[in-house]
């Protein structure tokens, strides 16, 4: 059994990369077109371990292995490159440490593992020959024989170090029980969430109170430099109206871009996800039972979107589980198989993936086809109008720029009249204040605060068109008066008082409940509503409040007793234990062996990671490990 597991582990490591499991991209694995970068030379060293170098080509080789099994999204390419480099550094570090300790992988060990991983290389005891062996290795692992056998040695060396580091590790009965309790000890809480934001409206603030508060915090209130700006705009919307597009233009564009109008098989789907990642077998069984109950409701008339909002654990729950349109190759295989086998309007049975159990609804289906000209005519017309508008805008903006350079400080109204521009005024503009009337553009505000009074800027391109700026007036920065910043002072005053009031109300409610007053009655008297949670384990989260780790005291309190108020930033939670069922000892006995194995594996992984970190730290301190971050960055930055 161990040999089979080891063979599978090695195959997965070769084919996918050992680090892939540590990177979660999203619930759906979207395919992103692979980028191409500039060629790199083997002399580009990104790291040195002892007397061994790791080059950009070494890292690129690792990345190429991964990309054969799924393209790497541009946004996380640097993360993959760093993970690849870390793995290469660790492999070289193990070799260096093995030399220091006199640890070796023997030829017999190497040959034995080779025989087990590629048993077809032998017919009985007879080697099938180098040609057939090479073909077998290339077909199964997509690498040359030297590369493959080198990876085998690395795997064996890692196993030796793992045994050295972890063989003496054990778990105690107390640790096993603690792990069982962490997932299975559950409480139900009555609780009140007290938010300062909800109390601010209750804070009254007279001028007599705001004045002293302002004086005490006067240094916080400075009026920044403000500028009043005249502007003239050349708007794309106006230019589009002037752009003439004929039907012949549209048909030519359609034929030139016909491939972009080809639609793949696609399905508009929604789903409800019940997560099982990191759950025990017992928890998975409970989750499956819950999922089956929801599935039964979905198939007997319950509104799917409402069920998703209530039960789904995916980020799409607020949209009723709607994932929009998906195409083949975009989702994990099990999800895709279900989505593309169901007819429009159908609801799947439970679909198990690496994320958990899904219930899938097919809202609509479309088969592969090419959209007709009439279907896309409107979009083409808009695109051509935009293209012509931009061309006209480029021409006019160049003419405006020439006029500004030629005439110097021409009044902006004259410039606008000459080029038929729309004018306006933005009053008291601050450096960090957006100018929505002008559109978005990098450097727009830099222009505003670089100009002198009366100067004209060159045309600045925005998402709406082009704008010419002229500063009309400048108000220097100065200490604020209360009248100038009264709204800010009032907001700050109310916020601070509300934070204090939230704590006071939390303390008051907790005292009243602990003295024997009914929780709901005491909460209502203070203006709050009591909520009741579901049964929550130590690994769960209390709605709106966060991790149950912050409420660990609840697991030690008797039923009916309130705990001390819990602070969550500026929010507070007051709670009482509504239910706490005793641990099922029979269930613990059934799970003990499994939990013990999981806990042992976790401790061994933690110990090996500590060994890895400690080894790297020591090599750095000894001057035997150096990393060139610039070369690594250059590898993942498009030329």
The predicted pLDDT at position 634 comes to 79
The predicted pLDDT at position 69 comes to 55
Closest Cα partner for 591 from 185, 3, 147, 56?
185
d(CA 568, CA 576): 17
Mean pLDDT of 472-480: 94
Where does the pLDDT of residue 43 fall: very low under 50, low under 70, confident under 90, or very high at 90 and above? low
CATH assignment of 186-218+486-580? 3.10.50
356-366 vs 266-275, strand pairing mode: antiparallel
Give the 3-state secondary structure of residue 229.
Answer: strand
Q: Taking a C-beta distance cutoff of 8 angstroms, is the pair 472, 229 a contact? A: yes
Tokens coding 167: 């063989």
The predicted pLDDT at position 300 comes to 93
Highest mean pLDDT among 10-19, 109-118, 202-211, 515-524: 515-524
Give the 3-state secondary structure of residue 628.
Answer: coil
Look at residue 524 and tell me whether its pLDDT is greater than 70: yes
Tokens coding 335: 């999800």
The predicted pLDDT at position 307 comes to 96
d(CA 423, CA 417): 9
d(CA 116, CA 136): 14
The predicted pLDDT at position 70 comes to 57
Q: What is the mean pLDDT of the chain?
A: 86
Tokens coding 148: 């493959």
Closest Cα partner for 332 from 113, 28, 109, 32?
28
Tokens coding 69: 């099994």
Sign of CA dihedral 472, 477, 478, 480: positive
The predicted pLDDT at position 638 comes to 56
Look at residue 618 and tell me whether its pLDDT is greater than 90: yes
* Alpha helices per DSSP H over 475-584: 486-514, 519-525
The predicted pLDDT at position 9 comes to 44
Share of the chain above pLDDT 90, in %: 54
Closest Cα partner for 195 from 440, 498, 602, 443?
498
Beta bridge partners of 429: 227
CATH 3.30.70.1400 assigned to 265-367: no
* Contacts of 294 by beta carbon, 8 Å cutoff, 6+ apart: 272, 274, 307, 311, 359
Q: Which residue has the higher pLDDT, 319 or 591?
A: 319
The predicted pLDDT at position 22 comes to 30
pLDDT (tens digit, 9 = 90+) per residue, 249-303? 999 999 999 988 988 889 999 999 999 988 888 899 999 999 999 999 999 999 9
Beta bridge partners of 233: 422, 467
Beta bridge partners of 68: none
Cα dihedral 434, 438, 444, 446 in deg (nearest 10): -60
Look at residue 324 and tell me whether its pLDDT is greater than 60: yes
Mean pLDDT of 482-487: 93
Architecture of 225-245+378-479 per CATH?
Answer: Roll (3.10)
Q: Which residue has the higher pLDDT, 482 or 242?
A: 482
Distances (CA, A) of 400 to 235, 244, 396, 433, 441: 14, 23, 6, 27, 18
Mean pLDDT of 473-496: 94
The predicted pLDDT at position 17 comes to 36
d(CA 390, CA 465): 8
Beta bridge partners of 460: 467
The predicted pLDDT at position 80 comes to 85
Stretch (H or E) spanning 612: helix 585-621
Burial of 630 (0-12, 13-18, 19+ CB in 10 A): exposed
Share of the chain above pLDDT 70, in %: 92
Task: Sort residue 77 into left (φ over 0), alpha (ψ -120 to 50) or beta.
Answer: alpha
Model-wide pTM > 0.75: no
Q: Taking a C-beta distance cutoff of 8 angstroms, is the pair 426, 437 a contact? A: yes
Please report, for the chain, how many H helices and E strands are present, in that order. Answer: 21, 23
Q: Which superfamily does CATH assign the domain made up of 2-168+606-635 to? A: Porin chaperone SurA, peptide-binding domain (1.10.4030.10)
Highest mean pLDDT among 153-157, 437-441, 570-574: 570-574
Look at residue 185 and tell me whether its pLDDT is greater than 60: yes
The secondary structure of 169-212 as a DSSP string is ----HHHHHHHHHHHH--EEEEEEEE-HHHHGGG----HHHHHH
Cite the residue boundaries of each domain of the chain with CATH code 3.10.50.40. 265-367
Q: Which residue has the higher pLDDT, 61 or 639?
A: 61
Q: Which residue has the higher pLDDT, 533 or 110?
A: 533
pLDDT (tens digit, 9 = 90+) per residue, 348-383? 999 999 999 999 999 999 888 898 999 999 999 989
Cite the residue boundaries of each domain of the chain with CATH code 1.10.4030.10. 2-168+606-635
The predicted pLDDT at position 284 comes to 92
Q: Taking a C-beta distance cutoff of 8 angstroms, is the pair 347, 304 a contact? A: yes
Mean pLDDT of 440-457: 88
Q: Taking a C-beta distance cutoff of 8 angstroms, is the pair 550, 539 a contact? A: no
Beta bridge partners of 156: none
């Amino acid at each position: 059994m161990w040999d089979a597991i080891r063979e599978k582990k090695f195959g997965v490591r070769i084919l996918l990369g050992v680090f892939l499991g540590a990177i979660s991209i999203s619930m759906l694995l979207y395919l992103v077109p692979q980028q191409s970068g500039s060629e790199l030379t083997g002399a580009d060293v990104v790291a040195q371990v002892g007397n061994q170098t790791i080059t950009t080509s070494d890292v690129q080789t690792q990345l190429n292995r991964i990309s054969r099994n799924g393209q790497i999204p541009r946004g996380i390419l640097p993360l993959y490159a760093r993970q690849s480099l870390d793995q290469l550094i660790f492999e070289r570090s193990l070799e260096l440490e093995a030399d220091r300790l006199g640890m070796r992988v023997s030829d017999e060990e190497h040959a034995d593992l080779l025989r087990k991983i590629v048993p077809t290389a032998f017919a009985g005891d007879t080697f099938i020959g180098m040609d057939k062996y090479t073909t077998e290795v290339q077909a199964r692992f997509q690498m040359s024989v030297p590369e493959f056998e080198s990876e085998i040695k690395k795997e064996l060396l890692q196993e030796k170090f793992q045994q050295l580091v972890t063989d003496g590790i054990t778990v105690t009965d107390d640790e096993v029980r603690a792990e069982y309790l962490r997932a299975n000890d559950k409480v139900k809480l009555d609780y009140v969430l007290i938010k300062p934001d909800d109390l601010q409206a209750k804070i009254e603030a007279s001028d007599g109170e705001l004045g002293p508060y302002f004086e005490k915090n006067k240094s916080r209130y400075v009026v920044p430099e403000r500028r009043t700006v005249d502007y003239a705009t050349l708007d794309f919307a106006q230019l589009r109206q002037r752009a003439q597009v004929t039907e012949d233009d549209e048909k030519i564009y359609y034929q030139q871009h016909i491939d972009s109008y080809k639609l793949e098989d696609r399905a508009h789907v929604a789903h409800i996800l019940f997560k099982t990642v990191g759950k025990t077998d017992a928890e998975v069984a409970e989750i499956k039972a819950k999922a089956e109950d929801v599935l039964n409701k979905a198939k007997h008339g319950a509104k799917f979107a409402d069920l998703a909002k209530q039960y789904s654990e995916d980020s799409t729950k607020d949209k009723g589980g709607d994932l929009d349109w998906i195409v083949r190759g975009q989702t994990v295989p099990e999800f895709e198989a279900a989505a593309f086998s169901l007819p429009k309007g159908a609801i799947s049975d439970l679909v198990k993936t690496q994320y958990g159990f899904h219930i899938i609804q097919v809202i609509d289906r479309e088969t592969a086809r090419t959209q007709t000209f009439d279907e896309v005519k409107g979009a083409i017309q808009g695109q051509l109008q935009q293209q012509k508008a931009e061309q006209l805008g480029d021409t006019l903006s160049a003419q405006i720029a020439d006029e500004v350079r030629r005439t110097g400080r021409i009044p902006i109204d004259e410039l606008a009249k000459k080029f038929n521009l729309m004018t306006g005024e933005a009053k008291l503009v601050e450096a960090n204040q957006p100018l929505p009337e002008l559109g978005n553009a990098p450097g727009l505000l830099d222009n505003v605060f670089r100009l002198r009074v009366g100067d004209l800027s060159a045309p600045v391109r925005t998402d709406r068109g082009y704008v010419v700026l002229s500063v009309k007036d400048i108000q220097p920065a100065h200490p604020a008066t209360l009248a100038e910043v009264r709204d800010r002072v009032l907001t700050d005053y109310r916020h601070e008082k509300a934070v204090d009031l939230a704590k006071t109300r939390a303390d008051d409610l907790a005292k009243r409940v602990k003295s024997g007053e009914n929780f709901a009655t005491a909460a209502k008297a203070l203006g709050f509503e009591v909520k009741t949670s579901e049964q929550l384990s130590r690994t769960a989260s209390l709605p709106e409040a966060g991790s149950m780790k912050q409420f660990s005291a609840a697991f030690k309190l008797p039923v009916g007793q309130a705990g001390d108020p819990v602070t969550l930033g500026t929010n507070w939670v007051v709670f009482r234990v509504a239910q706490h069922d005793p641990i099922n000892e029979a269930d613990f006995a059934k799970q003990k062996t499994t939990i013990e194995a999981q806990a042992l594996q976790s401790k061994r992984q933690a110990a090996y990671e500590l060994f890895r970190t400690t080894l790297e730290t020591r090599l750095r301190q000894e001057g035997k490990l150096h990393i060139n971050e610039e070369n690594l960055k250059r590898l993942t930055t498009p030329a």
